[in-house]
């Protein structure tokens, strides 16, 4: 997954009214090689997860080519940041998920 497509998926995630913050990285996949993995902070309180991950994935599928829609959604309270999101940290998490 190239950087440009990660940005495209992130911009669609920000259209979702429940999403406060989002970052997308490539996650290893045995069949496809890699698939999009979205790390999402909801606008509601912390890890409330009142929005199922399937709803987030379907929201993206309606607005993106299906191969760009996240296959995995990880809800988190905050994204690792300095002045920008530390995607290398998210990539390590995605890699450890298998």
DSSP structural state of residue 85:
B
Q: Supply the CATH number for residue 22's domain.
A: 3.30.300.30
pTM of the model: 0.88
Q: What angle do CA 48, 89, 92 make, to 5 degrees?
A: 100
How many domains are contained in the chain? 1
CA terminus-to-terminus distance, the chain: 16
Q: In the block, which residue shows the tokens 């988190």?
A: 76
Question: Please, what's the b/e burial string for 52-69 (b: 16 or more CB within 10 A of its CB; e: otherwise)?
Answer: eeeebbebbeebbeeebb
Domain residue limits at 26: 3-96
5 band by pLDDT with thresholds 50, 70 and 90 = confident
Q: Percent of the chain scored above 90 by pLDDT? A: 72
Compute the distance between CA of residue 81 and CA of residue 13 in angstroms, rounded to an integer.
18
Q: Which pLDDT belongs to residue 83?
A: 87
Q: Is the pLDDT of residue 60 over 80?
A: yes
Q: Which pLDDT belongs to residue 14?
A: 96
């Amino acid at each position: 997954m190239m950087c440009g497509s990660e940005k495209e998926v992130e911009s669609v995630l920000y259209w979702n009214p429940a999403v406060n913050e989002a970052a997308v990285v490539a996650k290893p996949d045995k069949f496809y090689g890699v698939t999009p993995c979205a790390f999402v902070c909801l606008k509601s309180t912390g890890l409330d997860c009142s929005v199922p991950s399937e709803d987030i994935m379907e929201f993206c599928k309606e607005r993106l080519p299906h191969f760009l829609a996240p296959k995995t959604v990880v809800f988190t309270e905050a994204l690792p940041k300095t002045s920008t999101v530390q995607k290398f940290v998210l990539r390590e998490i995605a890699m450890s998920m298998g």
